[in-house]
Amino acid sequence: MARILIIDDDAGVRALLAAVFSEAKYEVLEAQDGVQGLAAAKLNAPDAVVLDVDMPGLNGYEVCQGLRADPATHTVPILMLTGTTDLNGAINCMSSGADDHITKPFDIDEVAARVQALLLRSGQKE
């Protein structure tokens, strides 16, 4: 069973994503900010991370860079969620090390499909 770490300061978004991933039989971990997210990733070795860009303290770009800099998490697939619809938002996500990104508001089925694709590409089982 793949382990998904959700890092988002919005409790509603975390709950929605956790419900969908749990129903799909993934193990779900949650963090409400970037500092907690980095600690959870180091402690729990997730198979994929769903990461919000706009968070207080460490933003998603900084968290993504931190995950990529840590030998324990540098290959974990990362899907970033961003509220920015312009090209710079996509460029910033990919430049910080994300494997994929999706714009909010998002379709939950698309998020689930993108995470599944990232897991498959990384060699993880569903």
Considering the entire predicted model, what is its pTM?
Answer: 0.94
Q: What does DSSP assign to residue 15?
A: H
CA-CA distance, 126 to 123, in Å (whole number)? Answer: 10
What pLDDT, on a 0 to 100 scale, did the predictor assign at position 87?
Answer: 72
Is 9 inside any structural domain?
Answer: yes
Percent of residues, the chain, with pLDDT higher than 70:
97
In a domain, 70, yes or no: yes
Is 126 contained in some domain?
no
Mean predicted confidence (pLDDT) in 92-104 = 92
Please say if the pLDDT value at position 125 is more than 60: no
Q: Report the CATH number at residue 67.
A: 3.40.50.2300
* pLDDT score for 69: 97
Runs of H (alpha helix) within 70-122: 87-95, 108-121
Instruction: Give me 82's structure tokens.
Output: 């961003």
Q: What is the pLDDT of residues 56-91, one digit of tens each?
A: 999 999 999 999 999 999 999 999 999 876 777 778
**Is there a domain that residue 56 lies in?**
yes
What range defines the domain where residue 88 resides?
3-121
Total domain count, the chain? 1
